[in-house]
Amino acid sequence: MKKILLFILIINILSSCTNTNNHIPEAIEPTPTQQQIDWHKLETYAFVHFGLNTYNDLEWGYGNTPVSTFNPTELDCEQWVMTLKQCGMKGVILTAKHHDGFCLWQTKTTDYSIANSPYKNGKGDMVKELSDACKKHGLKFGLYLSPWDRNHAQYGYEDYVETYHKQIDELTSNYGELFEFWFDGANGGNGYYGGSDESRSINAKEYYDYERARDTILKRHPNAMIFGGTCQTIRWVGNEQGWAGDSDWCMINPEIDDNHKYLTHGSANGTHWIPAEVDVSIRPGWFYHKREDHQVKSIAQLADIYYRSVGHNANLLLNFPINLDGKIPALDSIRALEWHNLISNDLKDNILKNAKVNADSERGRKFKAENVIDDDWDTYWATEDDYNFGTISFTFDKPVKMNRVMLQEYVPLGQRVSDFYMEGELNGKWFKINAFDTLSTIGYKRIVRFGTVELDKLIIYFEESRGPLCINNIEAYCAPVLLTEPTISRDFDNYVKIESSDKDAAVFYTLDGSEPNENSLRYDKPFIFNENVIVKAISYDVESKNKSSVAIKEFDLSHDFFNIIEPKEGTRKIIDANIYSTMYIDNNEPLTFEFNEEQKICGFRYLPNQSRDASRHIVDYELYIDGKLIKNGTFGNIKNNPIEQIVRFEVVKGKTVKFVPTKNTDGSRNCGIAEYSIITK
């Protein structure tokens, strides 16, 4: 009898083991390569832009500025690398050649290079100097090589393609291991082109022979990611403002998913694993401009960028413009370090480490729910085969506060989750946690932000998934409150408003250019100011004595001092302080200001429509004062980076200013202007 009972017990144990479904979940294609997984884990790294544009105050050089103007006297690539490393960056990508065609290495392909500049008497090699500094200090090294070349006489013809591939060959042969190779998407248009001074167009998908470029790169650097071109392994996110979509799939179908919707959000039905990279500059522009010294992004802005890039399943490529001395400016360095320290502090103490974890479905003990808090990236909680949904809960011994939840899927088996939400429980009462963003995808990493809540139980509901759940990490934090800088505006009636998003914060400001503090003017209501003025303001918490970064806004003379005489209608929209209301005027039609009396005019400000999908931004323009052409130019990168354009020139006395847009970003007949003003101070 005992033998029979023992036999039955063994059968039951074996049966129980069989029913645990302890096998690895089936991968859902597409899945990442090991190289792509390693890239995901980098999360943040740096761009540096430096070249002739730096010394000629340009964003997109035309290809005609003299090589002799490139002469950094205190260049220090080690300063760049050590600064970036302190800021948590895992690597750096150098713009070896931008659209102007100027090459920062000792190339045999063109005379338009560092070899013919005064820098180190023509013996310098910026690519080598930065590569060596990266090796010394343990950062990964990558390169940007613009396909477009506005200097090369043969651009647009077959000879240039061979030149371009020789440049790729040089850069991939002589400077050590590369973790990423960057092809910019700006291709064709007007340029110097060896003196031809004309516009040339190309078919980018066919002209550059990107397939050949891929083979060259991967033959020598098999672990390198390729950004752009027709053989990309990572994709542009579709903007240069620093955010990926609330929904962000790592997959796209490169044959059809080439519009901005798919760049920003990916595609649940994508055929290839091509995750998003977010590229954004710490300043408004990509190259250094002294006029932007007061426009370095605040800590709050950089924190928001982090949470909307890395926290939205994308990698962050943060640009640092190198200044005229050849260094990362001190203010940029300090701001980036403060930002890194802030994020590190936000995500320092994982509240879930000691929580009790339960799930409604487990795929055997190997895939238990506790795996999400074990600090092992390669273990994960998985649900059973028929569970394309599920819940997981975390129970605490006593109430805790939190305002961040981080989630990660085990992406080697594919990206799965498409919809989830969270609830909290406190003293037996349930409430929904209202996230700042729409909750849909997770991918490699998703960080959910919400207002601070107190709870003794957290439950996460995974509503939809492309297959059984595979979640390898969940963390929760209570980040300190960060004061954001106030917003400053002046409306049509000349009322200056200074508003803080922090309801309990006081606002202090100055009008004399000095830095505001708690002893400055305290803002309590809008005030009238119609002349030139620089307003600086801070949010200030009286109890903690914490303060925000300084907000700065420059105002020019208001419409009390001029009339807009052309066009006749719609002009109020460009002086109403509404960045979304837009006046449209036809190409080659003037916008004309007539001042009440003669002014010392020294520039203008143009702001494109700031709506997310706005179009028809001005590219080329002419500016006349009292009938004389004073300035013409191009807003080079305005389609991808539609920030305020500030143009300054030597003082010209006059009463009538005529601004004429001649070309826009979309090739249509009219251009959009959200805000416009004349600089007279």
CATH of the domain at 418: 2.60.120.260
What would the pLDDT profile of 321-335 be if each residue is shown by its tens digit?
999 999 999 999 999
User: What's residue 435's pLDDT?
Assistant: 96
Q: Tell me the pLDDT tens digit for each residue of 235-284.
A: 999 999 999 999 999 999 987 755 667 899 999 999 999 999 999 999 99
Given 508, 533, 555, the domain boundary residue is 555
The answer on pLDDT for 11 being more than 50 is: no
Claim to verify: residue 495 and residue 403 sit in the same structural domain: no
The pLDDT confidence band at residue 510, using thresholds 50, 70 and 90, is: very high
Distance CA 9, CA 24 (A): 27
Final residue in a domain of this structure, among 298, 319, 346? 346
| pLDDT class of 7 with cuts at 50, 70, 90 | very low
Residue 520: partners with Cβ closer than 8 Å, 6 or more residues away: 508, 509, 510, 514
Residues 601/653, Cβ–Cβ less than 8 Å = yes
Residue 2 has pLDDT above 50, yes or no: no
- 62 in a structural domain: yes
Residue-wise pLDDT for 603-641, tens only, equals 999 999 998 778 899 999 999 999 999 999 999 889 888
- State how far the Cα of 524 lies from the Cα of 526, in Å rounded to an integer: 7
**Do 491 and 636 belong together in one domain?**
no
Asked whether residue 66 carries a pLDDT value surpassing 60, the answer given is: yes
Altogether, the residues listed in the chain come to a count of 681
- Mind listing the pLDDT tens digit for each residue in 467-500? 999 999 999 999 998 999 999 999 999 999 999 9
Find the CATH number of the domain harbouring 182.
Answer: 3.20.20.80
Residue 379, Cα to own-chain centre: how many angstroms? 31
Is the residue at 3 inside a domain?
Answer: no
Task: State how many domains the chain has.
Answer: 4
Q: How far apart are CA 152 and CA 110, in angstroms?
A: 8
Whether residue 383 contacts residue 390, with contact meaning beta carbons closer than 8 Å, is answered with yes
DSSP structure class, residue 146: -
> Among residues 522, 555, 588, which one ends one of the domains?
555
- In this structure, the answer to whether residues 504 and 438 fall within a common structural domain is no
Average pLDDT over residues 434-447: 97
Decide: helix, strand or coil at residue 435: strand
326 within a domain of the structure (yes/no): yes
Residue 502 pLDDT more than 90? no
Q: Quick check: 306 and 315 in contact, CB under 8 A? A: no
pLDDT range class, residue 16, cuts 50, 70, 90? very low
Decide: 104 and 114 in contact? Cβ < 8 Å.
Answer: yes
Q: What pTM value is reported for the model?
A: 0.89
- Give 503-507 contacts, CB < 8 A, sequence gap 24+: 504/541, 505/539, 505/540, 505/541, 505/548, 506/539, 506/540, 506/541, 506/542, 507/537, 507/538, 507/539, 507/540
Question: Hey, which residues does 280 pair with through a beta bridge?
Answer: 318
**Per-residue pLDDT, 260:** 66
The C-alpha atoms of residue 422 and residue 400 are separated, in whole angstroms, by: 16
Check: CB of residue 506 under 8 Å from CB of residue 522.
yes
Whether the bond between 118 and the residue before it is cis, its omega within 30 degrees of 0, is no
* Confidence grade of residue 117 (pLDDT, cut at 50, 70, 90): very high
Question: Which pLDDT score is estimated for 14?
Answer: 41
**pLDDT averaged over every residue in the chain:** 94
E-assigned strand segments in 478-532: 487-490, 495-499, 506-510, 521-522, 527-528
Note the pLDDT of residue 6: 43
- How is residue 361 written in tokens? 């479905």
Q: What are phi and psi of 105, to 5 degrees?
A: -130, 170
User: Quick one: 174 and 250 in the same domain?
Assistant: yes
**pLDDT, tens digit, for every residue of 565-585?**
999 999 999 999 999 999 999
- CA 238, 243, 246, 247 dihedral sign is positive
Q: List the alpha helices (DSSP H) in 43-157.
A: 52-55, 77-86, 126-137
Position 12 in a domain: no
**Residue 69 within any structural domain of the chain:** yes
* List of residues 6+ apart from 305 with CB closer than 8 A: 242, 243, 278, 280, 297, 316, 318
Q: Are 303 and 355 contained in the same domain? A: no
On whether both 239 and 188 belong to a single domain, the answer is yes
132 & 227 share domain: yes
Structure tokens at 340: 């890194």
* Amino acid of residue 133: A
Q: Which of 436, 463, 475 is nearest to 452 (CA)?
A: 436
CA dihedral 203, 207, 208, 209 (to 10 degrees): 120
In angstroms, what CA-CA distances link 326 with 80, 260, 266, 333, 382? Answer: 9, 35, 38, 14, 51
- pLDDT tens figures, 139-152: 999 999 999 999 99
d(CA 593, CA 5) in angstroms, rounded, equals 100
Do residues 277 and 142 lie in contact, with contact meaning Cβ atoms separated by under 8 Å?
no
Q: Distances from the Cα of 486 to the Cαs of 15, 293, 306, 492, 553, in angstroms?
A: 65, 19, 20, 20, 10
Inform me whether the pLDDT recorded for 341 exceeds 70. Answer: yes
Residues spanned by the domain of 411: 351-477
Dist. CA 151–CA 99, nearest whole Å: 8
Residues 6 or more apart in contact with residue 563 via CB below 8 angstroms: 593, 594
CATH number, domain containing residue 495 = 2.60.40
Tell me, yes or no, whether 593 lies in a domain. yes
Shared-domain flag, residues 217 and 320: yes
Over pLDDT 70: what percentage of the chain? 96
Pick left, alpha or beta for residue 158 (phi over 0 → left; psi -120 to 50 → alpha; otherwise beta): alpha
Q: What element of type H or E holds 34?
A: helix 34-42
Residues 590 and 544 in one domain: no
Q: What percent of the chain has pLDDT over 90?
A: 89
Q: Read off the amino acid at residue 670.
A: N
E strand or H helix at 538: strand 533-540
- Which tokens is 394 given? 């975390």
Residue 4 has pLDDT above 50, yes or no: no
Lowest mean pLDDT among 364-373, 390-399, 510-519, 536-545: 536-545
319 and 391 share one domain:
no
Q: Is residue 114 part of a domain?
A: yes
Helices (H), 548-668: none
**What pLDDT does 681 receive?**
81
- In this structure, the answer to whether residues 282 and 319 fall within a common structural domain is yes
Kind and range of the H or E element at 338?
Answer: helix 330-346
Q: Which residues lie closer than 8 Å to 506 by C-beta, 6 or more apart?
A: 518, 522, 539, 540, 541, 542
Residue 10: inside a domain: no
| Residue 332 and residue 402 in one domain | no
In the numeric block, which tokens belong to residue 637? 């990168």
Q: Crossing angle of helices 77-86/126-137, nearest 10°?
A: 40
User: How many angstroms separate the CA atoms of 551 and 561, rounded?
Assistant: 26
